[in-house]
């Protein structure tokens, strides 16, 4: 009931590990798969080792809502290849998230990941506390990098979208035009928390990305709007904390989802969500989660009454 086909990737569950959470080592990613995830997305991998920003780099704003400014810390693609090889020994569906400072650097990392066994590439052009966010706010730059990469890659390419834009639809359409096999909606929101006593931002970097429960309704709205204009699959991402959150994304038009922040509770939440989605589908007499995709679009909102 939970199987999905995502641009050729056959997943046992629609739940995918989001980039940036538990995605830097084979052991942590295997824990997520063992808990019932359909695939894992690695932490964003760059051309060389990067320390990221100093602590404090993550804080809890309210229950289930966090702000982070990790700064794309990662071991670099040369070091990470060994982790990819180990993952693929266990036949784990693997999406490698990549970033760089030029299109050529993105390509070099993506090709190395593909040659090592990655099943798909996700390009991070939207991290709100790193330079790559500038790509994801410009439709022309988005189109150019996607087209450039698709010409050389033979595995699916997903684009993680930046919500900190005026029109996310035009960015997504540019990705689709460039040949993207799907989009991830959405990355975190640019945010800032200031300590009133020290009178300075709490995070060492200053601003960060807001994730978790607070952004879920906004993410659902983005997926809902994108479903109206896109022909390629949408992977819903943002604030999943329960089975209802996953169902919401599917009703809005998602073909799969990513979970990240909620894993602070433990990976067991994935099995719980899978079990409860299955029960929901049975209770409503659906044979597959794919049967509910986009159903919210059949609902007509109330029109403004005309008093003339």
Q: Cite the active site residues.
A: 127
Task: For 228-254, give the secondary structure using H, E and C.
Answer: HHCCCCEEEECCCCCHHHHHHHHHHCC
Residues contacting 49, CB < 8 A, separation 6+: 74, 75, 76, 79
Cα angle for residues 140, 179, 209 (degrees, 5° grid): 60
| Residue tagged 């982070």 (tokens) | 68
Rg of the chain (C-alpha set): 19
Reference 212, options 96, 15, 98, 64; nearest CA is: 64
Please state whether beta strands 157-160 and 182-185 pair in parallel, antiparallel, or not at all (unpaired). Answer: parallel
Reference 71, options 104, 40, 99; nearest CA is: 99
Phi-psi region of 136 (alpha: psi -120 to 50; beta: other; left: phi over 0): alpha
Write out the DSSP string of 66-102. Answer: EEE---S-B--HHHHHHHHHHHHHTT--EEEEE--SS
- CB contact at 8 A, 18 and 24: no
**What's the CA gap between 276 and 284, in Å, rounded?**
12
């Amino acid at each position: 009931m939970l199987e999905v086909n995502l641009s050729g990737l056959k997943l046992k569950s629609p739940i995918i590990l989001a980039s940036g959470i538990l995605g830097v080592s084979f052991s942590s990613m295997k824990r997520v798969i063992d808990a019932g995830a359909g695939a894992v997305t690695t932490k964003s991998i760059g051309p060389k080792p990067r320390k990221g920003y100093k602590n404090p780099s993550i804080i809890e704003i309210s229950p289930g809502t966090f702000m982070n400014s990790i700064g794309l810390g990662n071991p670099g693609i040369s070091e990470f290849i060994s982790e990819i090889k180990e993952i693929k020994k266990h036949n784990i569906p693997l999406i490698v998230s990549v970033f760089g400072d030029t299109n050529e650097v993105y390509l070099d990392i993506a090709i190395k990941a593909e040659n090592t066994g990655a099943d798909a590439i996700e390009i991070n052009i939207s991290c709100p506390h790193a330079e790559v966010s500038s790509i994801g706010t410009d439709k022309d730059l988005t189109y150019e990098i996607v087209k450039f990469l698709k010409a050389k890659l033979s595995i699916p390419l997903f684009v993680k979208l930046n919500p900190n834009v005026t029109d996310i639809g035009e960015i997504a359409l540019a990705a689709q035009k460039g040949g993207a096999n799907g989009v991830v909606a959405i990355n975190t929101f640019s945010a800032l928390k200031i300590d009133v006593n020290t009178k300075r931002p709490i995070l060492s970097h200053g601003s960060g990305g807001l994730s978790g429960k607070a952004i879920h309704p906004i993410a659902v709205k983005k997926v809902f709007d994108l479903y109206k204009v896109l022909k390629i699959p949408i992977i819903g991402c943002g604030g999943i904390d329960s089975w209802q959150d996953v169902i919401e994304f599917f009703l809005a038009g998602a073909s799969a989802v990513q979970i990240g922040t909620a894993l602070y509770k433990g990976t067991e939440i994935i099995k719980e969500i899978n079990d409860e989605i299955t029960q929901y589908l049975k209770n409503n007499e659906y044979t597959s989660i794919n049967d509910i995709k986009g159903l919210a679009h059949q609902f007509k909102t109330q029109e403004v009454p005309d008093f003339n």
